[in-house]
Amino acid sequence: MLALIAIANVSWYLWGHEGSVGMTPHVPARNGADQVVQVAMTIAVDHRAMPLFAVLFGYGMVQFYRSRLDRGMEPRIVRAMMRRRHWAMLLLGLLHAALLFYGDILGAYAVAGLLMVWIFFGRRTRTLVIWIGVLVALMLLFALFSILSAISLVFFAPPEVIGSMESGSFGMGLVRDYAYGQPYLVSILARLAIWTMGLLPGALLLTPVSILVGWVAARHRVLDEPRRHTRLLARVAVGGIAIGWLGGVPDALLIVGAIPLPEAVGWAFSGLNSLAGIACGIGYAAAFGLLAVRLEGRAPARTTSGPDLDPGSETSSGASSGAGSGSGSGSGNGPPDKAARRERRREAAAADAARAPALRAYGIPSSTQARDPGAASTGASAARTGGLVRALSAVGQRSLTFYLLQSLLLAPLMADWGLGLGVHLSTAGAVGIALLVWLLSLPLAAWMDSRSVRGPAEMLLRRLTYGRLDPQGPRQP
């Protein structure tokens, strides 16, 4: 997954190029290879990597909350720890942006986490789903408004208006030059200013939907127990990726000149591409869940509900059963009819409404695997896991460290205050370097995993998160 981040980010380092390509981070193509790479990135990578990690960030928030409650901590203490964690992420994001990379995503995730936990974290699942729909509808309206506005300007605005818009535009090329074409101390101020201007738009416009989707999925343990949700994951993966890739086609056609729009309205499809990117990021997350099932080598298994989360309530087991079926989990009796599914969803919604906010945020209890022939082969499946898969898993367990390592390597390679490669490279060459940087992380992560060495960034974040609220936290394996 971090390969997508490396590929998406590397174009932001290409300073010293004349102009930019619409609202994309790309520089003008020099050859056919550049155009092919830019089209592929616009359709499958740009505006898609950030939503993918926002989904996983939201999912991880629920996992963090749930694991601390399972250890007997009070909900208010865990909420305080989450606030500390997000403030720590904001600090790390600020330092990352100032010192290395102005496109940092930690700050946007942190601000979104602070606001959304405060407003939404204990709300009913149905409320979260409604807000997902509202936010998607608003983004769709913005996308349509952008397209219609661009068409109106092209056909009805006087040529001098279009010309003045083009001459007064502030393109990505100028941003890159300020960030990486200046002496290091000067570039720090430029990167910090650019990051600050993009912080709130990134936090309030681009991440909330993905985080809410991550919360809903985590409450139903969709990625914790992917074998129970293979049908749902398959539908989301196919639908989300298809929508995401199709939604990127107009911008890709704009890049290659198949849609002849003036530079002044290069933003025409940016809203559509951002919305499609969210769908694609969610689809990618579902695809990785299916991949986890395949790597385990196990078929979808029947499950039984775990122990009641609230011993004094009769609704928790109902929520578990209803939520599981509403999430698309299969059963041995075949798929229920529509009326039965609606009834189960109503029961699940009623059970969720009856629970305390702390228990809503926790989600459904864990399910206990029913005994089946595949369960006995778990150890053998793990033993058969190849070195590449283990290395990828090791990178994922230290994702913050290796995300920052990418900037630590790419910035000195590309910037004028380093080797200055950014001014000489085009898109295809830069993507090649990004892939090499990502490949370098695999053996390093595998080595750290073989010696049970944690990522230094994860260790720092844990220490800033726990403080005195949970003295044993940083020493947990």
Q: What is the pLDDT of residues 82-102, one digit of tens each?
A: 999 999 999 999 999 999 999
What pLDDT score was predicted for residue 354?
A: 65
**Separation between Cα atoms, residue 133 and residue 128, nearest integer Å:** 9
| Whole-Å CA distances, 139 to 128, 253, 279 | 16, 22, 12
Burial class (CB in 10 A: 0-12, 13-18, 19+), 57: buried
DSSP string, 313-346: -SSHHHHHHHHHHHTT---TT----HHHHHHHHH
What pLDDT score was predicted for residue 138?
A: 95
**Separation between Cα atoms, residue 62 and residue 76, nearest integer Å:** 14
Distance between alpha carbon 469 and the CA centroid of its chain, in Å?
28
What pLDDT score was predicted for residue 166?
A: 62
304 forms bridges with which residues in the sheet?
368
* Dihedral sign (CA 407, 412, 416, 422): negative
Tell me the pLDDT tens digit for each residue of 346-374. Answer: 766 666 666 667 777 777 787 654 334 34
What pLDDT score was predicted for residue 267?
A: 84
Tell me the two tokens of residue 141.
């309206």
Report pTM: 0.84
Tell me the two tokens of residue 190.
């430029």
Tens place of pLDDT per residue across the chain (477 aa): 799 999 999 999 999 888 777 677 888 888 999 999 999 999 999 999 999 999 999 999 999 999 999 988 899 999 999 999 999 999 999 999 999 999 999 999 999 999 999 999 989 999 999 999 999 999 999 999 999 998 888 888 787 777 776 655 556 778 888 999 999 999 999 999 999 999 999 999 889 999 999 999 999 999 999 999 999 999 999 999 999 999 999 999 988 888 888 877 888 898 999 999 999 999 999 999 999 888 776 544 444 333 333 333 333 333 333 333 334 444 444 455 777 777 777 766 666 666 667 777 777 787 654 334 344 444 444 444 578 888 988 998 999 999 999 999 999 999 999 999 999 999 999 999 999 999 999 999 999 999 999 999 999 999 998 876 655 554 443
61 forms bridges with which residues in the sheet?
none
Q: What percent of the chain has pLDDT over 90?
A: 59
First to last CA, the chain: 23
What pLDDT score was predicted for residue 318?
A: 36
- At a CB cut-off of 8 Å and minimum separation 6, what does 319 contact? 348, 351, 352, 355, 364
Element (H, E) at 303: strand 303-304
Tell me the pLDDT tens digit for each residue of 261-278. Answer: 887 788 889 899 999 999
Closest CA to 213 of 45, 59, 48: 59
CB atoms within 10 A of CB 186: 12
Contact 221, 323 (CB under 8 A): no
The mean pLDDT value of the chain amounts to 83
